[in-house]
Structure 1
Amino acid sequence: MSILANPLTLAPEDRRNAARSLYWRGWSYGQIAEELQLNRDTVKSWGRRDRWDEASSIRKLEDCLETRLMVLICKEKKTEADYVELDALRRQVESLAKVRRYEAPGGHSGDLNDKVANRNSGERKPKAKKNHFTAEQAQQLEDHFLGQMFGYQETWWANLNRRTRMILKSRQIGATYYFAFEALMDAIKSGRNQIFLSASKAQAHQFRNYIVGFAKLVGVTLSGDPMLITSDLRPEGEAAAELHFLGTNFRTAQGRSGNFYFDEFFWVHGFEELNKVASAMATHTKWRKTYFSTPSTVAHLAYPYWTGERRNKRKKKADRVEIDTSHAALKDGRECEDGIWRQIVTVHDAIESGFNLVDLDELHDDHPDDEFANLFGCIFVDDSLSAFKFNDLVALGCDSEVEWTDFNPDSARPYGERPVWAGYDPQNSEEGDNAALVIVAPPTEQGGTFRILERHQLRGLDFEQQADFIKAMVSRYNCTYLGIDATGVGAGVYQLLAKPGSPIRGVTKIEYSLEVKATMVMKAQNVVRRGRLSFDLGHLDVVSSFISIKKTITDSGRNTTFKAGRGGDDGHADIAWAVMHTLINEPLDGREAPKSTMEIL
C-alpha cells in the first residue's frame, strides 16, 4: 500500500524531493520506484545527478525534520503530545542551523552558543515569567476562542458572571473543553481562583490538560498543581490566581475558596456532603458556582436541587416557588425563581446552534431510543424497574488513579503478573447490539472486592475480528479465566479462543438460559449490595449499563427473566453482562472458586 494517496498527482519536483527523502531514509532505488510509480533508472539518475550519496548528515537530518514537521503542522486536531513534539523539532532545526553557520567560512564558536555570541551585546531581554500571560497573549487567546464557539457556548459565555449556573447537557458537546477555557480567561483577567471538581482525579485533570493546551497556543507553558497564574492585566504584586484540580474526595477540597466548576455532578456519590464543601468554597459573593452534567436518574441526590424541590422543603409555604424545568422553558437558558440560572442543551439544540462534530443518524444507530434520550436528549432515567439501583452502583465508584497503586494502565503489564479474569459479551449482528470486553481483578481474599480495570466496547466486527481484539487486550495480563456468551456470533468467538494452542487460559463457555441469566443477576446483585465491586468514578457507562437491566416477563407469560435492550428499547447492557461473566466464576457463596474451569449449560 502506498504511503502517498496518489503519487501521480505530485508535481515532478515534488516527486523528485520525495524520492530523495525516501533514499536518505534507507529505501532502495527499486523500492522508491515502486512506491512513487516511477522507472527505476529515472530514480537512479536523479540520485546520481543530485549527489544523494554525497549529502552531509546534517542535510539528511534537516530533510527528516522537515518531513515530520509538515505532518504535525498539517494535522487538524493536535494533542498536547503533538505540541511538545513540535517544540522539540523546532529546537532541533535551530540547532542544525547553528552548526551550518559554524561550518561555513568565517564561522566561530558564537554561532553554536547564543550566550557566547550575545554576552557583550546590548541590553538583555528580561526572563519570561513563569505561568504568566502578557496582555497581548490574553487577547490572542480570547479572540481565538470567541471566534470558534458554538451558539450554546456563546450563551454560557454571555452568562459567565451569574452567581449560580446549573446546566443539563448532552454528552460529548464540549462542555468540559469550554468551561476550562472560561475558567482560564477569568483567572487571567480577574485573578480569581478556579476549582475543578469531577468524579475522579483523572477526570478533573482533563480540565488541566485542556488549559495547558490553550496556553501553548499563545506561547505560554503552564505547570504546577495547584497551578498559579499571573498576567499583565492584574496589578503587579497581586497574588496569583490558583487553579485546583480535585476529585470528589471532599476532604481534599476543604479550606479552598474560588469559583468552582462541578463536572458530571449527577453521577457522583455523596452529593449532599460534597456539595456542602463545594458551596462553602464560594461563600463570598465574588465567587461563582457552575454545575454541569448529563442526567442520571431521578433517584440521584442532586435531582431535588435541579427541580428546586430541596429549596422548597426548607421554606414556608408562602416562600416556595414553582420552577419549570421542562426543555421548552430552559432551552435558551433563564434565571429561575430561586435565582439559579438553568439551561438544557440536547444534542439537537447543539446541532441547531452550529455544532457539527457528530453524525445524528450514527448516534441513533448506536443507541436504542431510551439510551439516546438519556445520553443525548437530557432525559432522566427512572430506575424503579431496574434490577440494580443507581445509588447502590454509584457508591461503588472510586478514584482509581489515587487508590489503585498496584495498577498502571499505561504499563506494558498494567497489573503485573497478578491474575485477572475477563468477561466478553459478543456482538450479535442480527440484533444490532454492541460487544463488550472487561478485565477484572478478582478478590485477593475471600469476600474481597472485584475491580474493573478496563472496559471496551466494539461494534461492526465479525467473530474473527472480535477474537483478535480479545487476544490483543488480554495478552497484556495474566488472564486465568475468560467467560464468553457462546450463543449466536459468540459461538465463533468462543471456538477461536478455546481451540488448542490458544494463548488465553481458562476460556469458559456460557450458554444463556432463563436459569443462567437469573443466576448471574442474582450473583451480581449480591456483589453490588455488599459493596464488593469497584470501578473508576469516571466510567459512567458501567453504571448506565447495569441500570438498563430490567426484570420482565417472558413471552409465554409463565416466567420472569432479565432483559436489556438487545436491539430493543431498554438500552445496551453489554458491559454489565460482560462483568457478570466474570463474577459468576466465583461461587454464589463467595467462597474460593474451584481450580478447574467450568462450563455453564
Structure 2
Amino acid sequence: MTAKTRGMVAGMSTNATLPDPLASAWKFDPRRHARSLYWRGWGVTQIADEFALHGVTNDQGKPIPRPTIESWRQRDKWDEAPSIKKIEDGIEIRLLTLIAKEKKTSADLVEMDALNRSIESLARVRRFEQPGGHSGDLNEKVGNRNAGPRKAPKKNHFTEEQAEELKRIFLDGCFDYQLRWWKEKDQRTRMILKSRQIGATYFFAFEALMDAIETGRNQIFLSASKAQAHQFRSYIVSFAKLVGVSLAGDPMVITSDLRPPEEAGAELHFLGTNFRTAQGRSGNFYFDEFFWVHSFEELNKVASGMATHKKWRKTYFSTPSTIAHPAYPYWTGERRNKRRKKADRIEIDVSHAALAAGNVGPDRVWRHIVNIRDADLAGCDLFDIEELEDEYAADEFANLYMCEFVDDSLSAFKFNDLIACGCDSLVEWEDFNPEAARPYGNRVVWAGYDPQSSENGDNAGLVIAAPPLSEGGTFRILERHPLRGQDFEEQAAFIQAMLGRYNCTYLGVDATGVGAGVYQLLAKSGALPGCSVAKIEYSLEVKAGMIMKAQNVIRRGRLAFDSSYLDIVSAFVSIKKTLTTSGRNVTFKAGRGGDDGHADLAWATMHILMNEPLDGKEKPKGTMEIIE
C-alpha cells in the first residue's frame, strides 16, 4: 500500500474538512467508502487496517472491525454489483475530490469536464437499459433526427461566448507567476528562465490559442523535437474541448466571431528544431527549452525572422543548461555587446533578485526568473520541495529547480557534444514506433541498467538502445526509464516487462548493492529468453574504461536520442573527474557524498556502449562479464 494511496484514504477520513458550501452538505459514510475501496481492488482486511490507521469510527465513535466490513460486503452484495455502478462510483469520488479543491488548476478543469461528459454518457446507458429504452438514448443524433434540419457547426471556430468562457476558465486556474506572464504578453520579446514542471508549456499553449482567437495572428511553436512541439498541440486541443470546440489540422487554422469573417484564419504551426522546415512562415513564435537545442544560433536567425514585423511577439522559455550553451550570451546580453563599441555596450543584471518580479532590460527584452520556491510562494502546490531536495544532488537540484546554470568545464562530458546527439526521432527514425506493441519490430536491441542504491535511495535507470547497424554506426537510445523507490524484485520485474517488447540480446547490469539481486533474478534461465545478461562490477579501471568509450562515441557523433530527452544530457554532464579518498587515483563521480547514483541514465547508457569493443571496429561481442 503506497503513501499516496493512504493519503487518498486519509483525505476521506472523519476529520476531513471541505470548503463551503460542500462542508455543510457532505458527511463521511464509512460503509459507502469501504464499498468504494473494495470496488477499487482493496481486500476486506486491508480496508479494516486502513480505517484503523486513520481513526475511522462508526456513529457511536467506536472502531470498525473487519467482521463488520465483511458483513457489509455480504449483505449489500458488493461482488454482484454491475460494472456500470462501480464505474459511476469511481467517477463520482474523483469528481467530488476535484470540486472540493479551493484553487483548481486548468488540468483539474479539463479533467472535471471529461468526468462530467462520462457521467452524461453513463446516464444515457441507464436510460437505454430501462424498459422502453431505444437507440436514441445512446446517440443524441439518432434521438434528434426528426427534430428538423440543424446547421452544422463551423470547424475550428469559436463563438464570442465560447472565447470569453475559455478565457475565464483558464485564468481562474492560473498561478500568480502565470498571471504575470499573461500581463506581459504584449512585450515584443520575453525570455523566461524557469524551474522544471511549473506549467510553462501548458500556459503558453493557452496564451497562443487566445491570441489566435482574439487577434487572428499566426502562432508558431518551436521545440527540441516534433514530439515536444506537439505537446503544445495536445494542450490546445484539450482547452478547446472545455467549451465544446473540436480542433483538427496541422497546421491548425482557427477562426472566431471576434474577427471579421472575410479575414483568413490564424494558423498554428508545430515545429521541431529543423530550421529548414521552419522557413517561410511568420507569426508570434514560442521557443520551448531553447537552452537545450543544438545549433541555436542558426535556428534563432530563422525564428527571429518569423517575427520581423512589429506586430509579432517572441517568447523564449526554458530551464537553464550550461554557461557554454550558445543561448547563454543572449540571456546575459553579451551577444548584443560583441559588435558594439565600448561606449554603446549595456549591462544587464540577470540575478534572481533583479528578475524575480520580471524586468525589461536596456536591450528591450523582458526577462523573468521563476524557480521552484518562487512558484511555491505564488500558489503552485504541486511539489514536495523537501522530497525533491532529498531525491536530487544539490548541484542537480539547483540546475533543474532553482534556475542555476551549470559550469561543465569540470565535467567528463561536454554539454555541446551531448546536445549535438539530439535528433527528432519521430521524423528521422522510420523503423521505430514507440506506440506499437513491438516498437522496433524483431530487430536487435541492447539494454543497460543502473540499479537503485539501497544506502542513499538514489534513482535507478533503464536504457534501451538500438546498436549500430554497421561498423562505426550510431547507437540510438529508443527508451529510457528513471525509477525510484522499488526493491530488487520490483526492479527486475519492470525490466522484464520493458524488454519483453523487444528482441533484446544483451543487458548490462551493475551487480553491486541492490543490483546483485536484480542481476541474479534476470540471469536465471528463462527470465529474459535469448538475452545475455552481463554482470558488471565497478572498479577504478572499469569506470575509466566506460568513460573513455562513451567519450569517444559521443565526440564522434555515434550516439543519438530524441532531443526531448534532457535528462540524458543532464546525467552525462553531472559526471565529473575527481580524486579517490586516498588522493592517489583519479575516478569519476556524480552525486551526493561521492556516490554516482543520480547519473543513473548515463551509467546505464555506458553499460550498453561497453558491449562494443573500445575501437568500435571488431565485431560486437554478445556476452560480457567484468569483475574487479
Instruction: Find the residue that maps to 1:37 and give its secondary structure.
Output: helix
Instruction: Find the residue that maps to 2:477 and give its secondary structure.
Output: strand
Deviation at 1:491, TM superposition (A): 1.5
* Matching residue within 107, 121, 136 for 2:161: 136
Instruction: Find the residue that maps to 1:210 and give its secondary structure.
Output: helix
**Cross-structure match for 2:366:** 341
* Matching residue within 355, 363, 388 for 1:363: 388
**Cross-structure match for 1:37:** 70
Instruction: Find the residue that maps to 1:168 and give its secondary structure.
Output: strand
Structure whose alpha-carbon radius of gyration is higher: 1
- Letter in structure 2 aligned against 1:362: E
Contact preservation (8 Å) 1:164, 1:341: yes
Deviation at 1:433, TM superposition (A): 2.1
Relative to 1, partners in 2 of residues 1:571 and 1:170: Cα closer, same or farther, differing over 3 Å? farther
- Letter in structure 2 aligned against 1:118: A
Give 1:308-347 correspondences, 5 Å limit.
Answer: 308-347=333-372
**Cross-structure match for 2:205:** 180
- Between the aligned partners of 1:463 and 1:471, the Cα distance in structure 2 is 12
Instruction: Find the residue that maps to 2:495 and give its secondary structure.
Output: helix
- Between the aligned partners of 1:581 and 1:16, the Cα distance in structure 2 is 48
Deviation at 1:92, TM superposition (A): 6.7
* Matching residue within 135, 152, 168 for 1:127: 152
Give 1:231-242 correspondences, 5 Å limit.
Answer: 231-242=256-267
- Between the aligned partners of 1:376 and 1:234, the Cα distance in structure 2 is 41
* Matching residue within 547, 558, 570 for 1:544: 570
TM-score (norm 2): 0.83
* Matching residue within 160, 164, 170 for 2:195: 170
**Cross-structure match for 1:56:** none
Give 1:166-565 correspondences, 5 Å limit.
Answer: 166-504=191-529, 505-565=531-591
- Between the aligned partners of 1:259 and 1:111, the Cα distance in structure 2 is 40
Do structure 1's residue 118 and structure 2's residue 143 form an aligned pair? no
Unaligned runs of 5+ in 2: 15-26, 40-65, 99-106
Contact preservation (8 Å) 1:15, 1:36: no
- Between the aligned partners of 1:563 and 1:40, the Cα distance in structure 2 is 56
Deviation at 1:488, TM superposition (A): 1.8
- Between the aligned partners of 1:35 and 1:253, the Cα distance in structure 2 is 67
Contact preservation (8 Å) 1:295, 1:378: yes
- Between the aligned partners of 1:352 and 1:457, the Cα distance in structure 2 is 29
Relative to 1, partners in 2 of residues 1:581 and 1:236: Cα closer, same or farther, differing over 3 Å? same
- Between the aligned partners of 1:14 and 1:73, the Cα distance in structure 2 is 16
1:321-369 residue CA offsets vs partner (Å, 9 max, x unmatched)? 1111111111110100111000111111111111111011011011111
Relative to 1, partners in 2 of residues 1:133 and 1:444: Cα closer, same or farther, differing over 3 Å? same
1:266-314 residue CA offsets vs partner (Å, 9 max, x unmatched)? 0000000000110000000000000000000011000111011111112
1:182-204 residue CA offsets vs partner (Å, 9 max, x unmatched)? 11111111111111100011111
- Between the aligned partners of 2:444 and 2:319, the Cα distance in structure 1 is 36
Comparing 258-267 and 35-44, the one that deviates more? 35-44
Relative to 1, partners in 2 of residues 1:62 and 1:42: Cα closer, same or farther, differing over 3 Å? closer
Instruction: Find the residue that maps to 1:573 and give its secondary structure.
Output: helix
Instruction: Find the residue that maps to 1:117 and give its secondary structure.
Output: coil
- Between the aligned partners of 1:391 and 1:266, the Cα distance in structure 2 is 11
Deviation at 1:94, TM superposition (A): 3.9
Contact preservation (8 Å) 1:518, 1:561: yes
- Between the aligned partners of 2:194 and 2:275, the Cα distance in structure 1 is 24
- Letter in structure 2 aligned against 1:548: S
Contact preservation (8 Å) 2:458, 2:597: no
- Between the aligned partners of 1:299 and 1:185, the Cα distance in structure 2 is 36
- Between the aligned partners of 1:442 and 1:79, the Cα distance in structure 2 is 44
Deviation at 1:37, TM superposition (A): 2.8
- Between the aligned partners of 1:457 and 1:598, the Cα distance in structure 2 is 24
- Letter in structure 1 aligned against 2:567: D
- Between the aligned partners of 1:445 and 1:82, the Cα distance in structure 2 is 51
- Between the aligned partners of 2:479 and 2:495, the Cα distance in structure 1 is 12
Relative to 1, partners in 2 of residues 1:600 and 1:155: Cα closer, same or farther, differing over 3 Å? same
Contact preservation (8 Å) 1:421, 1:481: yes
Comparing 426-435 and 194-203, the one that deviates more? 426-435
- Letter in structure 2 aligned against 1:356: D
TM-score (norm 1): 0.87
Instruction: Find the residue that maps to 2:322 and give its secondary structure.
Output: coil
Relative to 1, partners in 2 of residues 1:65 and 1:347: Cα closer, same or farther, differing over 3 Å? closer
Deviation at 1:553, TM superposition (A): 1.8
Relative to 1, partners in 2 of residues 1:79 and 1:529: Cα closer, same or farther, differing over 3 Å? farther
Contact preservation (8 Å) 1:368, 1:571: no
**Cross-structure match for 2:611:** 585
CA-based RMSD of the aligned residues comes to: 3.4
Contact preservation (8 Å) 2:459, 2:597: no
Comparing 7-16 and 423-432, the one that deviates more? 7-16
Deviation at 1:545, TM superposition (A): 0.6
Relative to 1, partners in 2 of residues 1:329 and 1:112: Cα closer, same or farther, differing over 3 Å? closer
